[in-house]
């Protein structure tokens, strides 16, 4: 007979081993959004009925004032479990908020060109000591120009923040919280522009007239120009084989420089913040995303991501970067406020392009081999749906009002239109013989036409979104990869 005790020992050992594996696995997962206790959250809502709670736990009032949370240490939580809420210096103009379980919030204030947080002078000494045991959330969405005073350095925790001397960060009497942006004079907006198209096969960048798509000139690169972004009147182009970012002046029509990247970095994708201050480069050979400051045209830092990063997209609100990890069929979500990875998610085989809804809530990823578009809830990092497409989905585009999703089906030489909300297919168009293997799609500024590139033929076209027929076809003399519209300088 076999002893039951032997089975019990094995079962206990197996259970212990599984528990250890799970513990180690979960310890490697990225931090979730900061969770504030329900009773604390209810009290905050009571005190600030018009405020909203951000993912990192910060309170943002209707007036734009932001209060940053400090997560209490476990000992401090126990001691202040039933603490009476405290508001300093006054309920009308608070700078410091203390809630039960030791949760406190500090108002972000402006000092010169910097933003910072400080502890009020009226704070009792013992309370001050306890608060210095608290930490900023690891997913703290760091505002631009935010600096932590050295006296609060211990509160930084895992948050990526700059630190400076307290003397430089003393608010002036009556200093305002984060100022609302001044109404600037609107610059004239140009309604006309030109189109640039890259070709991996020929190594050229072509300049096209936006009305008839006639080619005006080619820019040879002796490399493999791919993705492009336009920032402050300059065009930045990723060149994978030459490990560089080319810089082209669209107005004067010449190259004005380049940003060198490390050998074998192989840049595969580009994206930029809405304000144009940072450019993100996916380095496929280095499994990293490089962050370039456009003002100095230098790499500030790199963030490691899963292997094979490719195409990318920044959410319209500028808070997150979506990176496609082609070999693993995953996406990586980065915070653009601290450049840290927030999480990864399996989406499908060979993700090739990504686009984000106008409200920054959903990412749409074309999975070329899976033959569907993955719909991802960005905030929760969950795969919400799969939209079945034609064979080999590649390029994506959204209508001007954001209600329609357009998908290029490369292997079927067709384009499909879906209702973005119901995810139902509305119509399809078979591409003409001149355009084979459609790649990138770009909505034109008029909102009525869509530019279509071709990876297997020499022509490009403008699709009329009302009639779903091509108004214009043009032979550019080579295959096409990516496309961008650049406005002409306004007079």
Dihedral sign for Cα 459, 465, 466, 468, please: positive
| Any domain includes 321 | yes
Residue 416: which H helix or E strand, with range? strand 414-419
pLDDT score of 178: 41
| Any domain includes 127 | yes
- 154/72 same-domain check: yes
Do the Cβ atoms of 278 and 272 come closer than 8 Å?
A: yes
Q: What are 112's two structure tokens?
A: 């010169």
Cα→Cα distances 272→195, 197, 231, 404, Å:
18, 18, 8, 24
**Distance (Å, whole) CA 436 – CA 130:** 66
Cα→Cα distances 382→56, 309, 332, Å:
18, 20, 12
**Distance (Å, whole) CA 332 – CA 234:** 28
- 159/276 same-domain check: no
pLDDT score of 34: 65
- 157/44 same-domain check: yes
- 157/52 same-domain check: yes
List residues bridging with 116 in a β-sheet.
109
- 157/233 same-domain check: no
Q: Which residue bears the tokens 């094995």?
A: 10
Last residue of a domain, one of 319, 346, 373: 346
| Any domain includes 15 | no
Q: What are 154's two structure tokens?
A: 């211990």
The 10s digit of each residue's pLDDT in 322-377 is 999 999 999 999 998 778 899 999 999 999 999 999 999 999 999 999 999 999 99
**3-state class (DSSP) for residue 395:** strand
Number of domains in the chain: 2
Task: Provide the Cα torsion 178, 184, 189, 195; round to 10°.
Answer: -40
pLDDT score of 8: 46
**Distance (Å, whole) CA 119 – CA 338:** 23
Q: Which residue bears the tokens 């040879």?
A: 220
- 229/149 same-domain check: no
Closest CA to 280 of 288, 182, 388: 288
Rounded to 5 degrees, φ, ψ at 133 are: -85, -10
Last residue of a domain, one of 303, 329, 346: 346
Degrees to nearest 5, angle at CA 383 with 380 and 387:
140
Last residue of a domain, one of 346, 370, 396: 346
CB atoms near residue 413 (< 10 Å): 22
CATH classification of the domain holding 232: 2.130.10.10
- 91/161 same-domain check: yes
- 236/340 same-domain check: yes
Rounded to 5 degrees, φ, ψ at 9 are: -65, -45
**Distance (Å, whole) CA 312 – CA 21:** 33
Do the Cβ atoms of 142 and 337 come closer than 8 Å?
A: yes
- 163/45 same-domain check: yes
List residues bridging with 162 in a β-sheet.
147
Cα→Cα distances 341→150, 180, 472, Å:
26, 29, 42
Closest CA to 191 of 489, 428, 400, 478: 489
**Distance (Å, whole) CA 75 – CA 199:** 61
- Burial class of residue 365 (count of CB atoms within 10 Å of its CB; 0-12, 13-18, 19+): buried
**Distance (Å, whole) CA 337 – CA 298:** 18
Q: What domain range is 280 assigned to?
A: 224-346
- 246/325 same-domain check: yes
| Any domain includes 230 | yes
The 10s digit of each residue's pLDDT in 131-144 is 888 888 877 877 77
Closest CA to 406 of 348, 471, 451: 451
| Any domain includes 179 | no
| Any domain includes 469 | no
List residues bridging with 330 in a β-sheet.
325, 346
The whole model's pTM is what?
A: 0.67
| Any domain includes 198 | no
| Any domain includes 205 | no
Closest CA to 166 of 190, 140, 141, 148: 148
- 228/111 same-domain check: no
Q: What are 433's two structure tokens?
A: 């013989």
- 67/150 same-domain check: yes
**Average pLDDT by stretches of 10, the chain with 491 residues:** 43 44 37 68 83 80 86 68 62 80 87 84 79 84 81 84 68 43 46 92 95 94 96 95 96 95 96 93 96 89 94 94 97 90 95 96 97 96 96 97 97 96 96 94 96 96 95 95 89 58
């Amino acid at each position: 007979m076999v002893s039951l005790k032997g089975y019990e020992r094995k079962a206990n050992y197996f259970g212990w081993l599984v528990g250890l594996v799970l513990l180690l696995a979960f310890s490697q997962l990225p931090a979730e959004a900061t969770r504030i206790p329900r009773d604390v959250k209810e009290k905050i809502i009571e005190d600030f009925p018009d405020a909203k709670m951000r993912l990192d736990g910060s309170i943002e009032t209707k007036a734009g004032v932001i209060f940053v949370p400090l997560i209490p240490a476990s000992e401090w939580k126990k001691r202040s479990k039933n603490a009476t809420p405290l508001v300093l210096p006054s309920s009308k103009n608070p700078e410091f908020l203390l809630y039960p379980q030791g949760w406190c919030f500090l108002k972000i204030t402006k000092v010169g060109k910097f933003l910072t947080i400080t502890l009020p002078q009226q704070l009792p000494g013992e309370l001050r000591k306890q608060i210095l045991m608290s930490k900023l959330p690891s997913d703290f969405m760091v505002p631009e120009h935010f600096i932590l005073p050295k006296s609060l350095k211990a509160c930084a925790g895992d948050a990526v923040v700059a630190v400076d001397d307290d003397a430089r960060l003393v608010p002036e009497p009556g200093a305002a919280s984060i100022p609302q942006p001044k109404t600037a004079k609107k610059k004239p907006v140009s309604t006309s522009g030109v189109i640039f198209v890259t070709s991996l096969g020929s190594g050229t960048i072509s300049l096209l007239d936006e009305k008839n798509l006639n080619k005006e000139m080619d820019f040879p690169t002796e490399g493999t120009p791919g993705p492009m972004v336009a920032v402050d009147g300059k065009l930045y182009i990723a060149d994978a084989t030459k490990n560089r970012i080319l810089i082209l002046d669209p107005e004067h029509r010449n190259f004005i420089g380049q940003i060198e990247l490390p050998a074998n970095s192989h840049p595969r994708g580009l994206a930029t913040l809405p304000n144009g201050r940072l450019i993100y480069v996916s380095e496929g050979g280095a499994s990293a995303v490089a962050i370039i400051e456009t003002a100095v045209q230098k790499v500030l830092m790199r963030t490691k991501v899963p292997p094979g990063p490719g195409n990318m997209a920044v959410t319209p609100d500028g808070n997150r970067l979506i990176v496609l990890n082609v070999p693993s069929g995953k996406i990586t979500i980065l915070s653009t406020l601290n450049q840290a990875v927030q999480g990864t998610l399996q989406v499908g085989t060979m993700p090739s392009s990504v686009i984000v809804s106008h409200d920054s809530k959903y990412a749409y990823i074309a999975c070329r081999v899976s033959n569907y578009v993955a719909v991802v809830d960005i905030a929760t990092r969950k795969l919400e749906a799969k939209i079945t497409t034609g064979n080999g989905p590649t390029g994506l585009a959204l209508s001007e009002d954001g209600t329609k999703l357009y998908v290029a089906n490369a292997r079927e030489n067709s384009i499909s239109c879906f209702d973005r909300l119901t995810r139902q297919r509305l119509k399809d168009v078979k591409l003409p013989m001149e355009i084979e293997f459609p790649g990138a799609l770009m909505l034109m500024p008029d909102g009525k036409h869509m530019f279509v590139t071709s990876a297997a033929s020499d022509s490009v076209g403008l699709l009329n979104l009302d009639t779903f027929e091509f108004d214009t076809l043009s032979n550019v003399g080579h295959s096409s990869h990516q496309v961008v519209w650049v406005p002409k300088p306004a007079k």
